[in-house]
Amino acid sequence: MIDPKTLASRFPDDFIFGVATASYQIEGAAREDGRKPSIWDAFSHMPGRVHNRDSGDVACDHYHRLDDDLDLMEDLGVETYRFSIAWPRIIPDGRGPVNEAGLDFYDRLIDGCKARGLKTNATLYHWDLPLTLAGDGGWTARSTAYAYQRYVQTVMKRFGDRLDLVSTFNEPWCVVWLSHLYGIHAPGEKSMDAALAALHTVNLAHGLGLEAIRQEAPDVKAGIVLNLHAVYPVNETDADREAAERSFQFNNGVFLDPLFKGAYPDGFMAALGDRMPAIEDGDLDLISGKLDWWGLNYYKPDRVADNSGSDAEFPAITVGAPVHNVITDIGWETYAPAMKMLTEQVYQRYDLPVMYITENGACYNMAPVNGIVDDTPRTEYLSSHIAIAADLVEAGIPLKGYYAWSLMDNFEWAEGYQMRFGLIYVNYETQERTLKNSGKWYKALAEEFLEKGKND
């Protein structure tokens, strides 16, 4: 691993280091203070959907341990906190009455960050759609985009004066494909037609949400967070290179092109355009509204081969095996240079604003031994990827910050509590928090960076 002082010296003074979490993964208090169920509450309580039938009912009990957790963050030495706001706490039925107790919780969170000198980066949607809206079709229904816009107006009217950054969505790829085509995330559908409907609704909701942010809080820097895929062909053949391009369009382009070009990708539309929902006049203008920043969530590379000779639907690919043998406990290949390849690729293809790496981290499941969590592989992962972030800055990419995923172990969606990404170990029985060795390393990096800024 790289010495924190050496690494800190490579970043400009206006760079920021932070940590990230998400509401359903940490808050718990699922039935308290007016909150109503989300699609994840329903999904996680269905047999066979989530490992061990785990749920976010209690999670890390962050709702009740807010001040202690903010103190842990302050002690880490980071400058910024990326968190998400739970729509079911704010407007419990998705539309209708606003829940004052939910707003009060985020008042305490945001004010607590400010009191500790932490910049605030709020995600407006991190997958916890109010369950009532699922009865109307959820993200497959155009009406959900307008319900989302009203939710954004409510949030920004209340908190806009205290937020530094805000993003409309976290990882629309997961909301669309993972949730409606592959059936792995809530609501668990496996339908291309449902996924295509959700694709346009989510993109439209982003545009409507951005409009609401501009109206209610024009001074807040607004963006979106994307988990773009770093796609490599399995073989350097024309067929596999074409497969990689189709994969790029399907996984990345269906979000990037509407956002930054005002259209869906040509190859994607040629294959699936006749099954898309109605794209109404003005939709693409809304979706492509000017952003102040964008966030990249990166964990692993993707390797794909051509499968167009079969009857497979677009993108007609097969997934290749990992090339490098460093595999995390969740089974993901570790390859830091892919983060640089991907970032440079999208800046070549699109006219993009400044960016942040909004999530990056590794799943390793080591437990405390005599009060120590020796998770050296996670530290190696963070070290190599933060070095790539420094390479990107030096290469002229307008990268302004890095957020480690995650502050603490938490509910890892379909994987339940068996997979751990945190810098802080959580004992889910006692809710005791233990700073891992990776967290100690990240703290040393953050503190070295702040000290460097004072001395420059």
User: Residue 124 carries which side chain, given as an amino acid letter?
Assistant: L
User: In Å, what is the CA distance from 104 to each residue of 98, 99, 158, 335?
Assistant: 11, 9, 10, 42
CA 262 to chain centre: 23
CA-atom Rg of the chain in angstroms: 21
Half-sphere exposure of 192 (CA within 13 A, CB side): 12
User: What is the dihedral angle through the alpha carbons of 367, 368, 373, 374, rounded to the nearest 10 degrees?
Assistant: -70
Side chain identity at residue 321, one-letter code: A
The CA angle 303-308-310, to the nearest 5 degrees, is 115
To the query of whether residue 447 is one of the catalytic residues in this protein, the response is no
Helix (H, G, I), strand (E, B) or coil at 415: helix
Enter the tokens of residue 188.
């668990």
Which single residue is written with the structure tokens 């259209």? 263
The SS3 call for residue 74 is: helix
Residue of 171, 380, 412, 448 marked catalytic: 171
Phi (first) and psi of residue 86, to 5 degrees: -85, 110
Task: Give the helix, strand, coil percentages of the chain, each rounded to 5.
Answer: 45, 15, 40
CA distance 136 to 218: 31
Marked catalytic residue, from 27, 189, 333, 359: 359
Distance CA 423, CA 435 (A): 6
Contact between 38 and 87 (Cβ < 8 Å) = yes
Lay out the sheet containing 230-233: strands in order across. Answer: 230-233, 301-306, 317-319
In this structure, are residues 194 and 204 in contact, taking their beta carbons and an 8 Å threshold? no
Report the C-alpha gap between 231 and 393 in whole angstroms: 22
359 is catalytic: yes
Integer Cα distance of 420 and 363 in angstroms? 5
For residue 347, which phi and psi values (nearest 5 degrees)? Answer: -70, -25
Q: How far is CA 152 from the centre of its chain?
A: 18
Pull the structure tokens for residue 191.
């339908």
**86-95 as b/e: b if 16+ CB within 10 A:** bbbbbbbebb
Distance CA 427, CA 401 (A): 30
Show which residues are catalytic: 171, 359
